[in-house]
Amino acid sequence: MRSMTGFGAGTAENAQWHVSVAIHSVNHKRLDWRISMPQILRPYEVELRQALSQEIFRGNINVEVRLEDLAAGQARWAINESLLATVASHLNSQVGEGDFSRQEWLALLQIPHMIEDQNLSFDEEDKPLIFQALQAALANYSQAALAEGDRLAADLDQRLEKCVTNLGVLQEVAPRVSQQLEEKLRDKLEEVLGQAGVNEQRLMEELVYFMNRTSIEEELVRLDSHIKKLKDLFKEEGPIGREADFYLQEMNREVNTCGSKINDTRGSHAVVELKTLIDAMREQIQNIA
């Protein structure tokens, strides 16, 4: 089981470049990517997303890729004269001719691409650095997500065991409740049969139909099946969140049906406990990938 909450970072470098990748995620209904990276690395974004999607299946994912030029101490930066002239000309046309102050010139230099690295080049031979850093970040991210998933799994297992206990209560009281209901119906039936003009065959058919509708045996069988399925599901490491939420919805439906049929103090208490446990587990499942 993996949590959708996790963090992982990794780095790689060669003689010129130092690449760092950081992955941070929180829970989300679907897979939602946000990747921040230098413009010079954008040609590799598609491959980066493909590599990430093989490991991360659900959540709000923020990925930050940073690139550091280890040879940046060399003097090779230059002002984009053409861009600067265009911007200055436009500003002059808007506010009138005049010299810019030192502060205004410094502000112009903050415009993207105004200052360029004349020899900046990230080549194909440098490309492996991105994915080395990514794999290291993914390994650390997966370790954190699995650790948090183990904690959530332990909590869910405890709640599921309490569900088993309360299911046992319903299984125990169900026959007694059916028997009490049958006795009341038979008493009423004997009273009605004593009246003239009653179709005894029709009345018996209605009795059988009513008893079938008020029985919770089928609901308890399905509830037991869902619990067993969840136990197996919670042991898996792959994406289980959506499937687990489906089974919890089904459990909730079966428990609601039992609550509408059962008329027993102990059984009603078990129904309330089950509904509380299911709600808590559904909330926890929102954090599971």
Of 73-77, 142-146, 151-155, 266-270, the range with the lowest mean pLDDT is: 73-77
**pLDDT at res. 275:** 96
**pLDDT for 21:** 97
Q: What is the mean pLDDT of residues 242-249?
A: 94
pLDDT at 243 over 70: yes
Query: Are 18 and 11 within 8 A, CB to CB?
Result: yes
Q: How confident is the model at residue 216 (pLDDT cuts 50, 70, 90)?
A: confident
Higher pLDDT pick, 248 / 216: 248
Q: How far apart are CA 47 and CA 14, in angstroms?
A: 21
**More confident position, 34 or 107:** 34
pLDDT band at 75 (very low <50, low <70, confident <90, very high): very low
Split at pLDDT 50, 70, 90, the class of 83 is: confident
Structure tokens at 187: 């008493």
Residue in 213, 209, 282 with CA at minimum distance from that of residue 245:
282
DSSP annotation string for 223-284: HHHHHHHHHHHTT--S--HHHHHHHHHHHHHHHHHHHHH---HHHHHHHHHHHHHHHHHHHH
* Mean pLDDT lowest among 21-35, 60-74, 103-117, 151-165: 103-117
Which among 95, 217, 212 is positioned nearest to 167, based on CA atoms?
A: 217
The pLDDT of residue 203 = 61
For residue 77, what pLDDT is reported? 59
The residue among 133, 127, 141, 149 whose CA lies nearest residue 23 is 141
The pLDDT > 90 percentage for the chain reads 45
| Residue-level pLDDT at 116 | 62
State residue 155's pLDDT score. 93
Instruction: State mean pLDDT over 142-162.
Output: 93
Where does the pLDDT of residue 98 fall: very low under 50, low under 70, confident under 90, or very high at 90 and above? low
Which residue would you say has higher pLDDT here, 55 or 74? 55
List pLDDT tens digits, range 171-201. 998 887 767 666 676 666 667 666 655 566 6
> Does pLDDT of 221 surpass 90?
yes
